[in-house]
Chains A and B, each alone.
Chain A
Amino acid sequence: MTGPDPVTATGLLRRAAAWRGGGALVLLAAVALFPLVFTNALVTTIGVDTLIFVAAAAAWNIFSGYSGYISLGHAVFFGSGAYTVGIAARDWQLTGNSVFALLPLAAVVAAVVAVPFGLVALRVRRHTFVVVTIAVFFIFQLMAFNFSFTGGTTGVSSPFLAWNPGTYNDPFYYLALAIGVGTVGLSWLIRGSRFGLQLRAIRDDEDRARGLGVRTMRVKLAAFVISAFVTGLLGGLWFYFISQVLPQSGFDPQFDLSVALIAFFGGLGTVSGPVLGALVLIPAQQYLTEQFTNDYLSQIVLGSLFLGVILLLPRGVIPTSSEKITSWRARRSGRLAAAGAAGGAAAGAAGREDPR
């Protein structure tokens, strides 16, 4: 059976890669310049939130998107990160800019928490795994409510940062941007790597992967820990930004749902999907909340939007649209090609190219 003309196929792929690279650069430049253009603190606050969710959804996707293990317990890592820096700054009496040196600690603590969490939860699959992650999440929220070192219901407050209120958001914005870029870069590296291939093999058929030599527990746990590391880091950053963490805001069930919805919306298991999802959904949510002061109305609109996506683009925006574009291109080149049979075969194959 003959494939598409190799020269043309390679050319198409290269052109697609160039478009992707160019698009990413333009997007990055726009995001980097954003706070210079929009200086309103309300707007930049939405910017910081959005970037935190870009990174959080990308980190979640590294584990859940690639392995197919849907975690609804990532707020455990977010909250652990937030509480870690909060408690450390309080107990070690750190103030001012030096508190930012604690951020790596937030990431490390979250990663350490992920090890026993993963060793227990990753023994079960699919729905059971989801339920176990939710259960662990509530255990952590309960602990935050009830321990004295977490401050109980009053939580922990952030040390005061003596920054100019006009540009207060900017350092957070760029820190979140840096973490976001780093996480998306890491996600891209992992997706093309042997590690990423093992994760995607686990997603498709875990037992078969074991029979081909993949040490699945190790691979899943590694992805879980990497994902937790980034999420913890973001929790720490968020804590300084909001300047307080409460049990229900640090360990927030809505965080779990949001990262999952963002990734589903953009495209589970793709590199760009979570980025796109967060860039659309978080500003939309914030905008709607501000437009309709009634919070429920914005939730309803968002919920309908999500249902619409599930109906029309069940695999997420990126995979479905890239599939449509490739099959459209293949049809067009198939019409140009003289040999109808070969073109049809190419269209069939190219139409199902794995989306990035």
Chain B
Amino acid sequence: MDPILRRKPPSEAEEDLNAIRKGRDLSFQDLVSIGQVTSDDLVLLYEVARRFRDYKTYKFSFNKGVSQVNAFFEPSTRTSSSFDLAAKQLSMDTAGVSSNSSVQKGESYLDTIQTIDAYNVKAIIIRSKEAGVPEVAARYTQACIVNAGDGWHEHPTQALLDGLTMLDHVGGYSLKGRVVTIVGDIMHSRVFGSLVRLLRTLQAEIRIAAPLTLIPKDVERFGAKWYGDVNQALAGADVVYALRVQSERGANGFIPTLREYSKMFGISRKRLDLAKKDAILMHPGPVIRDIDVHSALAAVDEQSYILRQVENGMAVRKSLLWLLCDRADGKTKTFTRK
């Protein structure tokens, strides 16, 4: 960390962030879909996130006295630790609920979430293997619900961090005229679900490349163009976004072998060179080295922004949690119980 920032007294650091925020609030109180995020929301989230990023692990007291529960009903490494650290760096108290909880004893998701909500926590971060759990839960909680990935549906904070990474690369708040090529298991990817919606908002040219067995019906209505030949899809791209072929989601059987997939669609040095000279390579992780991305490109190549994405994830989540839990207008949610 920048030693000058680290030693900054809390009052000054927080004043610094407040000066950037300028009393602004987000248009939403739960984040269940990236579709809720307006252009103004994006600017606010990113301006604040960039400043948080400068402060790295500096502990702010913005959210002191409020709590967060990380309800991860499906295993997660980076998303859960990132949300947890982000909350702690805002002085929140956090607790974790894992997949081996009451849900496995037969309690419904809704009952589990309403129970957590009765702790009067301010934020509940939900990861579920079923689509729609966060969106439905948000109707029945006083706490802000943040979708940390639901089934094949969406993973909005991943898209937010990806958007920040791309905008840092191109500058400004638009991807107009830029080509983003997404390669991999589109059908079973919640990362794609949020990213494609955000890219549309940012006006990027969206290309997708995968075998048709991994392309969901009517996907072109998101404004994405399908390519069976990955080389064509990569030509002239500004961003190359590789998705994991997700075997644990039943993707097996959609392709003959990982070997053949890797040969047809894996991002190699040679393929990356088809994109623009300064194109960046992104991946939401976990990377299956030598299947979706050639090992030599994964972490060390200067074009690889994969670890930068992770760093941006921390900053974006911190920005989101501050803006959601510490509203300038003091607005609270309306909800019912079921």
Mutual binders A and B? no
> B residues touching A (Cβ–Cβ < 8 Å)?
none
> A residues touching B (Cβ–Cβ < 8 Å)?
none
